[in-house]
Structure 1
C-alpha cells in the first residue's frame, strides 16, 4: 500500500513540476529525497541503539552490518543473504524493516533518472506546453505499465517452487510493481495537475458519497486480505499483493475524487500530523516493538511503541529535519533556529553517535542461540562418527567387554528401564533404548540430554518440521537403528498440514515401538498458531492409541518462566535449569511409556 501511494505521489509531483516549469530538475529531486529520507533514518538508528540495553546482547548481534545495510539502502539484499536464517525467526534483525526503504530508494534513483530523460526528450516533440504534457503522461503511462507487468511476472516466475519467499519479497526487481501501478494511477489522476478527461469524468459521474463508498469498499477489501493472505502461500506472490495494490489504488482514487468534490472542507489537523510523522514512525516502530515485546506483554509493548514512535517522529520532523536542511524548526508552535537550539541538538546527536559506536564495537558476531545450535550440531556430527566406530567395535568385541560396557552405562534416577516390563525390543528385533528426533530446542540441549536420558541417541536440527522428522524416522527404520522408544520433539515450526504429518508418523512407525510426542512451546504463540493447534491435537492421541504417550512440554514449560527470561520464548539459551527441565519432561514421559505396550502388529 505504501509503495503504491509513494509511486502515485512522486510521479504526480513530477507532472506538477513539468506543467509549471516545462522541465523536471533531477538534482533538485534527488536533493529533496535526500533531506526527507536520510536525516530521519540516521537519527532513528542513533535513538534506538540505547534501547538495546534493555534486552540481551543477542539483539545487537552483527548490528554493525545491519546499520551499514540500512545506511547503504541495501537491507533488502542483506536480508536475502542473511535474514532467512532459522535463528532470525526468533531474534529478528532490529533494522530489517528498512528493506522497504531500500526498495523505495532504488525506485527514486532509477525512476527519477528515467523521467528526467523523458522530460528532455519531450522538448523535441512539436506542439505547445499542453501537448507536451499530454505526451509526457502517455509515455509515463506506457513505461510504468510495462515495468509493473514485468515485475509482477518476475515475482510469479521467481516464486515458483520456493518455500521461503524472501528472494522475491525483498528484491527491488520483483517487488517494485506497486510503485509503477501507483505511477500509472498518477497519469490518469494526479495531485495538482489533472488530465482533462479525469476532471470531466469527476464532474459528470461522481459525487462525494460515491467517492466515500469507493474508499470504504476498498478499505474493507484490504482488511479482509490482511487477515486472509498467508505469507507462506504461493498465491500471495504475486496475486495477493497485486490485489492489495489495486485496492490501495482504489482508495487513493476515491480520496482524490473526494478532494475535488469538497473544495471548502479543510483537512483535520490530525490527518496532517499523521502525514508529517508517518515516515519517521515507520522508522521507529519495528525496533522499538521488538525490544519492548521481550520486556513486557504484547499490549504494553504496542502502547509504548506507539507513544515513543510518535514522540521521536515529531521531534525529527518538526525540529531536527528543518534545521539540517537550513530552515527554521518548530518547537511548541514557535519557529526556532540559532545556536540556542543547534548546540544542544549537536551535543545530543554526538552523544548518541558515541553510544552507537560503543554498542556496535561490543556487539557479538554470533547470538547465543546461533552459537548454541552451532556447537550442538558439531557435537552431533562428532557423536555420529563415534557411534559408527562403536558399532564396528561392538561387532568384534568379546562378550566380557560388552558386559563391561553395558555395566558402565549411566543409570538416571528417573531411568525408564526400571519400568519397562513390557519391552518389545526383543520380540520385534528392535534396538533397545531411545531415539529422540528433535528440532532446534532439542539440538540446543542435546549435550545434556544424551547422558541424562538413559541409552538415548539424539538426532536434532534447527527449523525441522514434522515431515522432516518423518523422513529421519523412516531412514532410521530402514537402517534398523530406530530404537524401541521413539520421542518426537518437533512442532514449533508447524505448517498447516501438521495433523496429516503427525498421522503419517503414527501410521508408518513399525510395530513394537513406543511413541512419545513432545508438545511444542512458544511463549508468543496464540491459540490460532499451528504449533498451539498441534499440541492440542497431540494430547488427544493417547486415548486412541495406547502405545502413544505425551511429553507435555507445552504445558510444563510456561510454569517455569524463569527459564525463558531474556530469551526468544522458545529456546532457553543453554541454561542448566532449562536443560534439567527438558530432560525431566522426557524422562517422565518415558517412564509412562515404559508401562504401556508397544505398537501392535496389524494382526494383533
Structure 2
C-alpha cells in the first residue's frame, strides 16, 4: 500500500540535505534533513512490522533483513563503484586511504570511522568522499537492533491470551513504550555529554546519541500506522478535514524551514533541542500526510513527485562525492547543476533498471547474471583504485616534514638565545619571527631558505587566540625577533577582532608587525577570514609599525597554484612556495623602511 503524499516528506528531507551540502554557509541548518529521513524510516519500518503481525500473527525477521539488504546495499554498491573512478580527475589527496572509506561504507561503520578520523585537521580541507554514508550506518544499526527487539516483542505478545486484534494493540503498546524509553535515554545522554564538553562530532555520529529520531518515528507508528490503524486514530481520521491535514503538513514544513535557516552545526543548542524539534516537525508532516492520503481519494500523486521520492535514496548517495569532484573542476553553481542532473540520471538507472535485475523475483537469469557481472567488474576497478591510492596525502607529508624541521630549528634558536642573552642585558634579536598556521607549515621548508634569518613557528588549525599564546611565550623566552610576521586567519573564530587587537597591544616596543591576510578559495564576504582581511588592511593607517602582506589579494590572482585542491593549501606546488615567499619578502622590504613600535 503506497501512501500518497509521503513522497513530499522524503523530498523535503532530500532538498534540505542537498541545499546544506551545496551551500552550507547560506543554508546553515539543512543537515537536520537527515533527521527527517530517520523519523520517516522509523515510522515506515515499524508500521510495516505491525501490519505484518496484524495480518499473519507473525513477524519474519529474516525476510525483514533480506528486504532491507536488497533496498540498501545494491544502490550503495553502484553509487560507490560508479563514482570512484571519477575521483581520479581531481587532486589525489582526496583518494588518501580511500580503501578504508569504502570498507567503512560497505561495512556500515562510517559513523565510527568519522569519529575516529574526523578530528584530523586535513579532513577539513579534503573531505571524505563517502562521509555521507554515516547515515546508512545508523540506519542499518537501527534495523538490526529494532528488528530483533520487535521479534522478541512479537514472541511475547503471541504468548498472551488476547485475540488477534487485541494482540496487535498490545504489540503497539509495547513498541510505543520501548520507543519512548530509547528516546528519553538518548536525549539524557546528549544533555550529559554536552555538559561534559564532549566533541559535538561524536554526539552527531554516534548511535547512542543520534538514533532517537528513528524511535520517534517508531513511536508515531505505534500511535497511527499505514494499513492497520488503532481505533482512536480512525476517529481522528473521521474528524480531520483535508484542509486540516494540509495545515499540519505546512506547519511541520514551516518548523523545518525555520530550523534550516537558524541552526548551526557547531552550536550545542542544535544538539539539545534542534534535532528534537526537527524530528517533531517530521513527525507532524508524516501524520498529516497519512491523514491527507485518506482525505484525497480522487487525487493522484503527481508522477514527478513519485519519481523524486523513488530516487531520493540514490540521489542522496550520489550527490556528495559528485559535488566534491565537480566542485574542484568547474564553477560551483555549474557543479551543482551537473551534480543534480547526473545524480538523477544515475539514480533512475539504478532504481528502475539495475536494482530490479538483481532483486526482482521474476527477473530472467540472463539479466540477473548480467547485473552480477557488472557488479564484479566495478568491484575490480574499485579494488585497483583503492590499492593504488596514497596512504599519506601530499598535505600531510608537507605538514609532517615542516613539523620535523621546525622542532630542530626551535632547539637551535633556543640554544643560541641562551648563549647570547645574559643577565638583564636583553637585546632584541635581529631577524624575523613567523607565527603561522598549516599554510605556512606546508611551505616551511622553502621559507627556511628563502626568508632570510627567520624563525618559523607554525601549526595546523591555529587561530588568533593561539597565535597570541605563541607570541607571549616567545616574549617570555626572549626569542621574539624584531620583525614579527603573523600568518593567521584561515581558521578565524568569532573573536578574531578582539584577539587581533590583543596581539597588537601585546607586541613589545622595538618590534615591527607584518600581518599576512588569509586566503580561502571557498570563503565569501560573510566568513570570519574575509572579515579579518578587511580589518587588517585598515590597521597600517592607525599603527605605523604594521605592514600588510596581502596574500588574500595575491593568491586570488593566482588560483592555479591550488590546482584541484582545497583552495587554501598549495603544499608541494613550487610556484605556490615562490609566491608565498615573495609576498612575505615584499612586505618585509616595505616594513624595514618604516618605524618600530615605540610605545
Give the alignment's TM-score, normalised by structure 1. Answer: 0.89
2:417 and 2:478 in contact (8 A); partners too: no
1:428 and 1:512 in contact (8 A); partners too: no
The equivalent residue for 1:241 is 275
The equivalent residue for 1:300 is 334
- Matches of 2:103 and 2:152, distance apart in 1: 31
Alpha carbons of structure 1 residues 473 and 50: separation in structure 2 relative to 1, 3 Å:
same
Q: Of residues 192, 201, 224 in structure 2, which corresponds to 1:189?
A: 224
Alpha carbons of structure 1 residues 429 and 243: separation in structure 2 relative to 1, 3 Å:
farther
Note the alpha carbon deviations across 1:385-438, whole angstroms, 9 max, x for none: 232343455579xxxxxxxxxxxxxxxxxxxxxxxxxxxxx9994222211110
The equivalent residue for 1:153 is 188
Q: Of residues 334, 337, 343 in structure 2, which corresponds to 1:309?
A: 343
The equivalent residue for 2:174 is 139
1:214 and 1:250 in contact (8 A); partners too: yes
The equivalent residue for 1:375 is 401
Alpha carbons of structure 1 residues 198 and 285: separation in structure 2 relative to 1, 3 Å:
same
The equivalent residue for 1:558 is 556
Q: Of residues 484, 487, 500 in structure 1, which corresponds to 2:498?
A: 500
1:518 and 1:550 in contact (8 A); partners too: yes
Alpha carbons of structure 1 residues 584 and 230: separation in structure 2 relative to 1, 3 Å:
same
Residue 593 (structure 1) aligned with residue 591 (structure 2): yes
The equivalent residue for 2:313 is 279
The equivalent residue for 1:214 is 248
Q: Secondary structure at the match of 1:515?
A: strand
Alpha carbons of structure 1 residues 116 and 216: separation in structure 2 relative to 1, 3 Å:
same
Unmatched segments (≥5 aa) in structure 2 = 1-35
The equivalent residue for 1:483 is 481
The equivalent residue for 2:389 is 363
- Matches of 1:508 and 1:199, distance apart in 2: 71
Q: Secondary structure at the match of 1:431?
A: coil
- Matches of 2:547 and 2:426, distance apart in 1: 20
- Matches of 2:333 and 2:126, distance apart in 1: 19
Q: Of residues 284, 290, 302 in structure 2, which corresponds to 1:256?
A: 290
The equivalent residue for 1:351 is 377
Q: How does 1:165-184 map to 2 (within 5 A)?
A: 165-184=200-219
1:3 and 1:178 in contact (8 A); partners too: yes
- Matches of 1:217 and 1:544, distance apart in 2: 53
1:485 and 1:514 in contact (8 A); partners too: yes
1:443 and 1:462 in contact (8 A); partners too: yes
Note the alpha carbon deviations across 1:53-77, whole angstroms, 9 max, x for none: 2112211111111111111111111
Residue 320 (structure 1) aligned with residue 318 (structure 2): no
Deviation at 1:290, TM superposition (A): 0.8
Residue 118 (structure 1) aligned with residue 144 (structure 2): no
Note the alpha carbon deviations across 1:361-406, whole angstroms, 9 max, x for none: 111101111111111111111222232343455579xxxxxxxxxx
1:525 and 1:532 in contact (8 A); partners too: yes
Q: Secondary structure at the match of 1:540?
A: helix
Deviation at 1:97, TM superposition (A): 0.8
Note the alpha carbon deviations across 1:489-521, whole angstroms, 9 max, x for none: 111111222222222212222233222221111
- Matches of 2:367 and 2:58, distance apart in 1: 38
Q: How many residues align?
A: 563
The equivalent residue for 1:26 is 61
Q: Secondary structure at the match of 1:237?
A: helix
The equivalent residue for 1:81 is 116
Alpha carbons of structure 1 residues 366 and 511: separation in structure 2 relative to 1, 3 Å:
same
- Matches of 1:228 and 1:520, distance apart in 2: 27
- Matches of 1:512 and 1:260, distance apart in 2: 80
- Matches of 2:450 and 2:559, distance apart in 1: 23
1:567 and 1:573 in contact (8 A); partners too: no
- Matches of 2:535 and 2:248, distance apart in 1: 44
Deviation at 1:224, TM superposition (A): 2.2
2:517 and 2:548 in contact (8 A); partners too: yes
Alpha carbons of structure 1 residues 164 and 450: separation in structure 2 relative to 1, 3 Å:
farther
**Alpha carbon RMSD of aligned pairs, Å?**
2.0
- Matches of 2:491 and 2:579, distance apart in 1: 21
- Matches of 1:510 and 1:218, distance apart in 2: 58
The equivalent residue for 2:451 is 453
Q: Of residues 563, 567, 570 in structure 1, which corresponds to 2:568?
A: 570
Deviation at 1:163, TM superposition (A): 7.5
- Matches of 2:182 and 2:162, distance apart in 1: 28
Residue 43 (structure 1) aligned with residue 78 (structure 2): yes
- Matches of 2:419 and 2:170, distance apart in 1: 84
1:522 and 1:570 in contact (8 A); partners too: yes
- Matches of 1:91 and 1:116, distance apart in 2: 43
- Matches of 2:342 and 2:468, distance apart in 1: 47
2:357 and 2:367 in contact (8 A); partners too: no
- Matches of 2:277 and 2:597, distance apart in 1: 50
Give the alignment's TM-score, normalised by structure 2. Answer: 0.90
Q: Secondary structure at the match of 2:209?
A: coil
- Matches of 1:349 and 1:540, distance apart in 2: 59
The equivalent residue for 2:18 is none
- Matches of 1:129 and 1:344, distance apart in 2: 45
- Matches of 2:457 and 2:366, distance apart in 1: 65
Note the alpha carbon deviations across 1:299-320, whole angstroms, 9 max, x for none: 1111111111111111111122
Alpha carbons of structure 1 residues 546 and 254: separation in structure 2 relative to 1, 3 Å:
farther
- Matches of 2:554 and 2:63, distance apart in 1: 62
| Runs of 4+, deviation exceeding 6 Å | none
The equivalent residue for 1:423 is none
Residue 11 (structure 1) aligned with residue 43 (structure 2): no
- Matches of 1:546 and 1:150, distance apart in 2: 59
- Matches of 1:453 and 1:526, distance apart in 2: 31
- Matches of 1:59 and 1:512, distance apart in 2: 45
Deviation at 1:545, TM superposition (A): 2.2
1:202 and 1:257 in contact (8 A); partners too: yes
Unmatched segments (≥5 aa) in structure 1 = 329-336, 397-425
Note the alpha carbon deviations across 1:170-193, whole angstroms, 9 max, x for none: 111111111111111112221222
- Matches of 1:102 and 1:346, distance apart in 2: 24
- Matches of 2:331 and 2:432, distance apart in 1: 39
